[in-house]
Amino acid sequence: MSALLSVTDAHVAYGKVEAVRSVSLEVGANEIVTIVGANGAGKTTLLSAIMGILPLKGRVTFAGQDLARLDIEDRVAMGLGLVPEHRELFVTMNVEDNLELGAFRIERSKAKASIERVYALFPRLKERRKQLAGTLSGGEQQMLAMGRALMGEPKLLMLDEPSLGLAPIIVADIFRIVTELRASGVSVLLVEQNAQAALKIADQAYVMELGEFVLNGKASDIAANERVAASYLGFQHEGESAI
């Protein structure tokens, strides 16, 4: 079976500076794939380019279709979702409106059912449904950003640093929900600095350094790799109980 998302020989540049060089990756159906790497490795840049926010040289196909000519909105309609690092919520609108807009491209009747599903995943959002998005805590904003993306019924959800700056207990919750998503048939492409937690739940993993993939394979193999352990997991061993 062919992959859901397939990126072949992708280059992304800011002017003359190439932030991503010759990168290839695949995400299959019902799979969690993670890209781990240090700050500035080009992970966010790659996700933005796959979404169509930044121009990408190379080939990207999603569900068998070439994305080259499609803009962000078309990719959303095809079932590609991105929860960006800065979440990009509608801060002056309430939780419910944010979620409703997440289903902008979905039939109204379906959206009603989706919102209940999202509330079931994130009961906190239901409690706060009339609250303005800008007044939520960091963890709740992350939940709202994920919920909003799920309202669009994505086949593949790309998450950019979902755990950044959040309390460990909320991080654990978010990672649990990511695995639940896979169980419900949504593939996830997860970009994380918290490599240990990401590798624990992922099926496949890529290690990114200075704009290139230096290693890839099964997540469990990557986690066991000495070099990875030294560069990305080492400093976290002491705080293992955090997650």
Partner 1 sequence: MNTTIMLFLVQDGITNGAIYALLGLALVLVFAVTRVILIPQGEFVTYGALTYASLAAGQMPGTAKLALALGIGAFAFDLFVARKALHGRLILRSLITNIVLPAIVLALTVYFAAQKPPVAVCIALSLVIVAMIGLYLYRIAFQPLAHTSVLVLLIASVGVHLALQGLGLLFFGAEGQRGPAVLSGAFTAGALRFTGQSLTVYGITIAFIVGLWLFFGLTLYGKALRATAVNRLGARLVGIRTTLSGQIAFLLASVIGALSGIMIVPITTLYYDSGFLIGLKGFVAAIIGGLVSYPLTAVAALVVGLVEAFSSFYASNYKEVIVFMLLIPVLLLRSLAAPAVEEEKD
Q: Which is nearer to partner 1, 43 or 205 (CB)?
A: 43
Does 167 sit near partner 1 (CB under 8 A)?
no
Phi, psi of 184 (to 5 degrees): -90, 10
Place of tokens 């994380």: 192
Sheet containing 187-192: give its strands across.
80-83, 156-160, 187-192, 32-37, 204-209, 212-218
The correct pick among 29, 93, 215, 229 for binding partner 1 (CB under 8 A) is: 93
Q: Which is nearer to partner 1, 46 or 222 (CB)?
A: 46
Does 91 sit near partner 1 (CB under 8 A)?
yes
- Within residues 43-72, the interface with partner 1 by CB under 8 A covers 51, 53, 69, 72
The correct pick among 151, 178, 188, 197 for binding partner 1 (CB under 8 A) is: 151
Q: Which is nearer to partner 1, 106 or 215 (CB)?
A: 106
Please report how close the Cβ of residue 82 comes to partner 1 at its closest, in angstroms.
6
DSSP string for 26-52: EE-TT-EEEEEE-TTSSHHHHHHHHHT
Please report how close the Cβ of residue 178 comes to partner 1 at its closest, in angstroms.
18
The correct pick among 7, 25, 35, 89 for binding partner 1 (CB under 8 A) is: 89
Q: Which of 10, 52, 55, 56 is nearest to 35 (CA)?
A: 10
Does 84 sit near partner 1 (CB under 8 A)?
yes
User: Number of residues in contact with partner 1, rule: CB under 8 A?
Assistant: 29
Name the burial class of residue 142, with classes exposed (0-12), middle (13-18) and buried (19+) by CB atoms within 10 angstroms of its CB.
buried
Does 148 sit near partner 1 (CB under 8 A)?
yes
118: its two tokens: 């999202």
Does 169 sit near partner 1 (CB under 8 A)?
no
**Can you tell me the distance from the alpha carbon of 33 to that of 25, in angstroms, rounded to the nearest whole number?**
9
From first CA to last CA, the distance across the chain in angstroms is 34
Please report how close the Cβ of residue 242 comes to partner 1 at its closest, in angstroms.
30
List residues bridging with 160 in a β-sheet.
191
- Residues near partner 1 (CB under 8 A): 51, 53, 69, 72-73, 76-77, 81-82, 84, 87-93, 97, 100-105, 108, 148-149, 151-152
